[in-house]
Amino acid sequence: MTTVTFEKDAEGRYRAFTCFGHAGFAKKRFGKYEPDILCAAISALTANTVNGLSEIAGEAVTVTENEADGFLRCVIESDLKEASVLLMDAYVLSLTEYSKQYGKYLTVNFKEV
C-alpha cells in the first residue's frame, strides 16, 4: 500500500509531503505480474509535482528519496507562490480521487505541523 501524508501548518499552508510504499495493485497474469499501473500513476503525479515546484515554479524544496522503499519526502522551505499552491491542490485532488477508487492500495492523510 502507498501512503501519502500532506503536512500543513495552522494557517493551512503546505509545509511538506511524504509518499511511502508500493501500491501493490499489479495483478498476476499468465504466471507473471503485470505492471503496477496505480504505482506508476502515483509516481508520475509525485515526480510531476516535485519537478513543477522546483524546476518550473522555482520553489525552495528539499527532496529525500529511496526508490527501493517507494519513499519520497518533499519539504517546502518557504511559503508557496499562488501557482504552486494550485499545483499542490491538483496533486492532492488527484491522489484523493485515486484513493476513493483504490482505497485498499492508496491512503491519503493530512497532518497539522
Kindly report, residue by residue over 14-50, the tens digit of the pLDDT.
999 999 999 999 887 777 888 899 999 999 999 999 9
User: All 3 cell numbers of residue 59?
Assistant: 520553489
Tell me the average pLDDT of the chain: 95
- The pLDDT, as a whole number, for residue 32 is 82
* Number of C-beta neighbours around residue 23 at 10 A: 21
Q: What confidence tens digit (pLDDT) does each residue in 88-112 have?
A: 999 999 999 999 999 999 999 999 9
CATH entry, 2-75+92-112, from 3.30.70.1490, 3.30.160.100, 3.40.50.2300, 3.90.78.10: 3.30.70.1490
Q: What percent of the chain has pLDDT over 70?
A: 100
Residue 19, SS3? strand
